[in-house]
Amino acid sequence: MNKDDNNIKISVRNLVEFILRSGDIDNRQGSKNDKDAMQAGSKMHRKIQKQMGSEYHAEYPLKLQIEKPDFFITIEGRADGIIIEESKITIDEIKGVYFDLDYLNAPIEVHRAQAMCYGYIYSKQEGLNLIHIQLTYCNLDNEQKKYFNEAIEFDRLEMWFQKLIQEYYKWARFQYEWKIKRNDSIKPLEFPFSYREGQRDLAASVYKTINRRRRLFIQAPTGVGKTMSTIFPTVKAIGESLGEKIFYLTAKTITRTVAQEAFEILKEKGLSFKIVTLTAKEKLCFCETTECNPIHCPYAKGHYDRINDAVFLMLTQKNTFSREVIEKYAKKYQVCPFEMSLDVSLWCDAIICDYNYVFDPNVALKRFFSEGAKGEYLFLVDEAHNLVERGREMYSAFLYKEDFLRLKNEVKFYSRKLEKNLEKCNKNLLELKRECETYQVIDSIGAFVLNLMSLASEIEKFLEENDEKDIRDKVLEFYFQVRHFLSMYERLDDNYVIYTEHDQTGQFKIKLFCINPSVNLIDCLNKGNSTIFFSATLLPISYYKELLSGDLEDYAVYANSPFKEENRLILIGNDVSSKYTRRNHLEYKKTAEYIKSVIECKKGNYMVFFPSYSYMREVYHYIHSLNVNCICQKQGMNEEEREEFLSYFMNHPSGEIVGLCVMGGIFSEGIDLKRDYLIGALIVGTGLPQISYEKEILKNYYDAKNENGFDYAYRYPGMNKVLQAAGRVIRTSDDKGIILLLDERFNSRQYKELFPREWKQPPLCSISNVNHQIEAFWNRS
């Protein structure tokens, strides 16, 4: 047994928050939930600590080990401060909050309990009969402070603490016994399939990376089996105590399903593993509208009084916690299914979830990733190419001038002070608007931010004093936007650009644009042990290293394709172009003729990927006149419409369906049409994003750093879309198909350098000879 297998560790904060919670879920106290107070709060902690005298001992580490039959419970944490004076000793617990302290008449019980835990541990270690605790609350906007003090005798403190531990004991015993069972099941576990070419080396690279607590980037073509090649060695690493919990992070639902299936295959081979898949709150909610309070939701009322019993029962009865399982138990115990899924994740060995549960500062799981928290986590980042844009979105923030004006008119009947604060911010933005013709990069917005902070404080007072639902909901929604903007402003560094613009709707926007999200992303990943980034399209690898980890020394491997070269034909149409200057009816007609030629060579299902909906519509007119059986992707398709679209391919194997799609859209990655369901993909254009102010800012930013700004802003993201679309064709070793790249630019050095290794040097074709080359391919195969 590993030395840590009989040592159950929990932080003071997690202990009290878990055991002592009670009552309702209530989002009407939204401003009190201080969603983003933790990061700003840590800075305030340090500021307050520095202001204290020599008697103040900041960040004082405390640990207590409690012996139980078979195992130990270790409680640990850092007291914000211990004030050691001759006459008394005081435990100081500092809490940064975003609400008016005039409305706080007593310490929040869970905060007081934290201080009591630290007080008990310190008293026991030092042999004290009496200790003082102090709760120091500080408003993070105006630095207003409020103190609560009390003296507690050790005997009373010990009775309280022993009761707390007794309530936690059954959870600790469950954790201890499950860990033994889990690790015993991992030891004999073997890879569930015969290794494909390169797959053993890939799995070994993952294990070695985890063993060295490093990061790895995997460029793995379709068919390598990268999901199992990453999950299996990571599970084995957990069995060797190199980690305690797997976070399998995805951007799309379909890849979550693939991960679930991989874990289930291992469980069929004998693995004992608890796995939860997290689903968005809006999808899990049992109510028509997501109103998380006891008035609107019966599951919110008394939720915390019932949740621990519900979770414990589910944990002891099930090992896989799918959406269906969570909904079943949530209904049985009348608790919120979303909160239940988050609670059960604490006790699971693997969590399958969207990127935002780890990285998004507004959504990230505070249970694991709060300020200062760390764990034995192993991160598997699937389809990691998506994390660049998602990271930029998560760590950027914007506000519209029109929203300030609109809310000002709404609140003037309720609060003159709030109206004035909104007007000050509106005037700041009006000045910036007058200076901006199209878009403008701004060096400093200090005056605006100061007014925004004052506005946030006034909104908090307003929310405390007003109960009228309609106005309150509008103010609260706006408040969260302001809070996010201020939170991102705290992160500003050389990786950000501040700019204003008149957007396409005519509104005026100010944006904190996170160009390189790597600093923020890696701050999250450093809370764990090791990270594996993998995708079929991580080229060029240096680009993704720079934007995802910021460390060009991170490990990287290129997994060779296991598929036979002769099963795939790649051609470059060298007499056609999708350049903006060449977009005309001649080019549209030529593209339609290419499509017609390809499908005449072999009857079957094909997908054509276009640079935009408008381009697709232009080509469709010509295809339609050529009597080609087409179906078109529509803008804003819902889930049912997507399924219907894909069903044409699934229901017509060896048929003659041509799906017209948009590159970078919902059908260009993540879909799995094997064998005859899809035998060819035609890719029209190089996938370059549309020119926009933001793309130009991105380009200029990298040009100023002596990098090729066009590559960073346009070529690399565009080529990623191309490679993803091309990856729809060959999905298994039995598949055969063609990939036709319809743009002369693909024949240039800049693009060929970005081709996957297995593409080698695709031959050229033209509309006059493409059918001969394709017929020859199908005749050979």
Q: What is the reported pLDDT for 4?
A: 61
Q: What is the reported pLDDT for 42?
A: 59
Q: What is the reported pLDDT for 112?
A: 95
Across residues 134-152, what is the average pLDDT? Answer: 89
Bridge partners of 232?
A: none
Bridge partners of 67?
A: 72
pLDDT in tens, 246-272: 999 998 777 788 999 999 999 999 999
Whole-angstrom distance between the N-terminal and C-terminal Cα of the chain? 56
**Dist. CA 335–CA 298, nearest whole Å:** 8
pLDDT at residue 36 is higher than 50: no
Lowest mean pLDDT among 208-212, 241-245, 418-422, 620-624: 620-624
Q: What is the reported pLDDT for 383?
A: 94
Token representation of residue 701: 């930013």
Q: What is the reported pLDDT for 670?
A: 75
Q: What is the reported pLDDT for 72?
A: 94
Across residues 765-773, what is the average pLDDT? Answer: 95
Q: What is the reported pLDDT for 34?
A: 46
Q: What is the reported pLDDT for 385?
A: 95
Residue among 647, 651, 656 at smallest CA distance from 596: 656
Tell me how far CA of residue 19 lies from CA of 169, 306, 363, 444, 671, in angstroms.
Answer: 11, 12, 23, 46, 43
Q: What is the reported pLDDT for 436?
A: 95
Across residues 6-24, what is the average pLDDT? Answer: 91
Token representation of residue 659: 């799906």
Token representation of residue 45: 């902690």
Please, which pLDDT band fits residue 775 given cuts at 50, 70 and 90? very high
Long-range Cβ contact pairs of 768-772 (< 8 A, separation 24 or more) = 770/571, 770/573, 770/594, 770/597, 770/598, 770/740, 771/597, 771/598, 771/600, 771/601
Crossing angle of helices 226-239/199-211, nearest 10°? 40
Tell me how far CA of residue 5 lies from CA of 167, 240, 376, in angstroms.
Answer: 21, 11, 13
Please, which pLDDT band fits residue 43 given cuts at 50, 70 and 90? low
Bridge partners of 502?
A: 508
Please, which pLDDT band fits residue 441 given cuts at 50, 70 and 90? very high
pLDDT in tens, 295-340: 889 999 999 999 999 999 999 999 999 999 999 999 999 999 999 9
Q: What is the reported pLDDT for 386?
A: 95
Domains detected in the chain: 7-174 (3.90.320.10), 201-273+349-395+517-561 (3.40.50.300), 282-346 (no CATH), 397-514 (1.10.275.40), 565-780 (3.40.50.300)
Tell me how far CA of residue 256 lies from CA of 262, 646, 667, in angstroms.
Answer: 10, 19, 16
pLDDT at residue 1 is higher than 50: no
pLDDT in tens, 359-405: 999 888 888 887 767 889 999 999 999 999 999 999 999 999 999 99
pLDDT in tens, 531-586: 999 999 999 999 999 999 999 999 999 988 878 888 899 999 999 999 988 889 99
Residue 700: strand, helix, or coil: helix
DSSP string covering 325-390: HHHHHHHHHT--HHHHHHHHHTT-SEEEEETHHHH-TTTS-HHHHSTT---SEEEEETTGGGHHHH
pLDDT at residue 627 is higher than 90: no
Across residues 417-446, what is the average pLDDT? Answer: 96
Token representation of residue 306: 């019932």
Across residues 428-437, what is the average pLDDT? Answer: 96
Residue among 378, 389, 388, 395 at smallest CA distance from 249: 378
Average pLDDT, the chain: 91
Q: What is the reported pLDDT for 731?
A: 75
Tell me how far CA of residue 715 lies from CA of 284, 547, 580, 667, in angstroms.
Answer: 39, 15, 15, 21
Q: How is residue 289 annotated by DSSP?
A: S
pLDDT at residue 19 is higher than 60: yes
Token representation of residue 654: 């060896």
Please, which pLDDT band fits residue 29 given cuts at 50, 70 and 90? low
Q: What is the reported pLDDT for 725?
A: 94
% of the chain exceeding 70 in pLDDT: 96
Across residues 278-303, what is the average pLDDT? Answer: 91
pLDDT in tens, 577-614: 999 888 899 999 999 999 999 999 998 999 999 999 99
Please, which pLDDT band fits residue 35 given cuts at 50, 70 and 90? very low
For residue 770, count CB atoms less than 10 angstroms from its CB and return exposed for 0-12, middle for 13-18, buried for 19 or more: buried
**Which uninterrupted H or E stretch holds 429?**
helix 416-435
% of the chain exceeding 90 in pLDDT: 74
